[in-house]
């Protein structure tokens, strides 16, 4: 995998070519100071970015008792400051102000229908959904977007070392985050049925493998409709993807709805940084090298969970508790807990949320 392969999969690189066959999205270039803010520790939200944000901060109380339920939010904040015996001369992180970006994000959210799915150049903060109101990545204001981005290790990877696994990566070269232009991608929110998502592996412009994206579940309709699913995805690949993507080797994700319509979700590099899900990378390399396995010669290999015995364990188990929360629960960083408490205070009394009603 080369740096150019990774760059070709960044959202801004492919969206222009494929916007007809994917969900409507808006790409917002991020100012340097915002990228720096994403890098800093703590979860202090910029002033003016809030909406009806609800955080799970209450659930983070260390002792788990319910005495705090009766306290008002600002009392609760003081209680935690006292409990943690914060030295009086300690300056608590100050909320930054990104007024212009906030306005751009708000306008984009409105023009996408009020609910969006956020990403950075490559990754979504899907490991951080625990921090949001309804455990999804649905956002309706800038603060929800920022909180998810700041709580995600996948986003941290996009920021810190997007090219670290590339063969031509040299840590001393210019191809690092200092020369990268980062973008916030806001995608129109869709209520996607996970049983309709598939990952497709392309080598030398040949679609060689397809599997269900959520390998942790048996979906009987996939088993029943295997042939139709395969046919719809192959047709979509040939018509909409194959001659248009600049690399011969890549991985793409699609949603195929129950009526057979296929929609592009994302591109990922061909290589071990991309989760091979129900294949192994050794299998894929073998198939790519022109395996003699007759079942895989004409049509792509199709893998799905065929029985309860075939399910794989959950994808993001390792990521469920980002570093901020590990620090919190280990009692190692009282300031992070206070940031979260502040969030709760900023958002209290304004606990509106949007509901999922698109599907």
Ligand X SMILES: Nc1ncnc2c1ncn2[C@@H]1O[C@H](COP(=O)(O)OP(=O)(O)O)[C@@H](O)[C@H]1O
Binding site for ligand X (CB under 6 A): 23, 117, 119, 123-124, 126, 154, 187-190, 192, 194, 197, 213, 253, 265-266
Cα separation, 200 vs 207, whole angstroms: 7
Among 268, 276, 346, 347, indicate the residue that binds Mg ion (CB under 5 A).
268
In angstroms, give the least distance from the CB of 81 to Mg ion.
40
> Which of residues 57 and 152 has its CB atom nearest to ligand X in the complex?
152
In angstroms, give the least distance from the CB of 336 to ligand X.
24
In angstroms, give the least distance from the CB of 182 to Mg ion.
16
Interface with Mg ion, residue 266, by CB under 5 A: yes
> Which of residues 182 and 335 has its CB atom nearest to ligand X in the complex?
182
Three-state SS for 206-248 is EEEEEEECCCCCCCHHHHHHHHHHHHHHHHHHHHHHCCCCCCC
- The site partner of 245 among ligand X, Mg ion, none (C-beta below 5 to 8 Å per kind) is none
Query: Residue with structure tokens 């929110």?
Result: 189
Cα separation, 109 vs 117, whole angstroms: 10
Query: What is the DSSP code (8-state) at residue 12?
Result: H
Cβ within 8 Å of residue 111, ≥6 positions away: 26
Cα–Cα nearest to 122, from 182, 166, 71, 45 = 182
> Which of residues 213 and 336 has its CB atom nearest to ligand X in the complex?
213
> Which of residues 124 and 132 has its CB atom nearest to ligand X in the complex?
124
Query: Residue with structure tokens 């929609």?
Result: 263
Residue 198's DSSP bridge partners are 212, 254
- The site partner of 346 among Mg ion, ligand X, none (C-beta below 5 to 8 Å per kind) is none
> Which of residues 22 and 57 has its CB atom nearest to ligand X in the complex?
22
Q: Which residues bind Mg ion (CB under 5 A)?
A: 266, 268
């Amino acid at each position: 995998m080369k740096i150019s392969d990774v760059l070709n999969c960044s959202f801004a690189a492919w969206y222009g070519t494929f916007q007809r066959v994917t969900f409507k999205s808006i790409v917002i270039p991020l100012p340097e100071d915002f990228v720096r803010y994403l890098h800093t520790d703590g979860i202090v939200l910029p002033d003016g970015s809030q909406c009806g944000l609800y955080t799970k901060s209450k659930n983070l109380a260390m002792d788990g008792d319910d005495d705090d339920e009766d306290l008002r939010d600002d009392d609760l904040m003081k209680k935690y400051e006292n409990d943690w015996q914060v030295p009086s001369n300690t300056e608590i992180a100050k909320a930054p102000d990104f007024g212009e970006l906030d306005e751009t994000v708000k306008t984009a959210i409105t023009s996408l229908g009020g609910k969006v799915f956020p990403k950075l150049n490559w990754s979504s903060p899907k490991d951080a959904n625990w921090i949001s109101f309804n455990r999804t990545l649905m956002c309706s204001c800038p603060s929800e977007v920022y909180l998810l981005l700041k709580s995600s290790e996948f986003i941290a990877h996009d920021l810190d070392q997007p090219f670290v696994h590339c063969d031509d990566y040299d840590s001393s070269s210019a191809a690092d985050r200092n020369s990268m232009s980062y973008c916030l991608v806001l995608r129109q929110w869709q209520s996607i049925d996970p049983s309709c998502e598939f990952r497709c592996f392309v080598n030398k412009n040949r679609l060689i493998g397809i599997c269900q994206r959520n390998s942790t579940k048996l979906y009987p309709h996939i088993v029943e409709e295997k042939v139709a699913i395969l046919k719809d995805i192959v047709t979509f690949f040939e018509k909409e993807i194959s001659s248009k993507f600049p690399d011969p080797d890549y991985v793409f994700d699609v949603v195929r709805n129950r009526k057979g319509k296929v929609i592009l979700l994302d591109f990922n590099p061909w290589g071990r940084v991309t989760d091979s899900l129900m294949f192994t990378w050794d299998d894929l390399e073998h198939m790519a090298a022109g395996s003699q396995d007759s079942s895989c010669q004409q049509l792509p290999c199709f893998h799905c969970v065929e029985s309860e015995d075939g399910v794989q364990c959950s994808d993001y188990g390792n990521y469920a508790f980002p570093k901020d929360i590990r620090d919190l629960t280990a009692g190692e960083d009282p300031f992070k807990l206070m940031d979260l408490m502040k969030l709760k205070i900023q958002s209290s009394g304004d606990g509106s949320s949007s509901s999922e009603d698109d599907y």
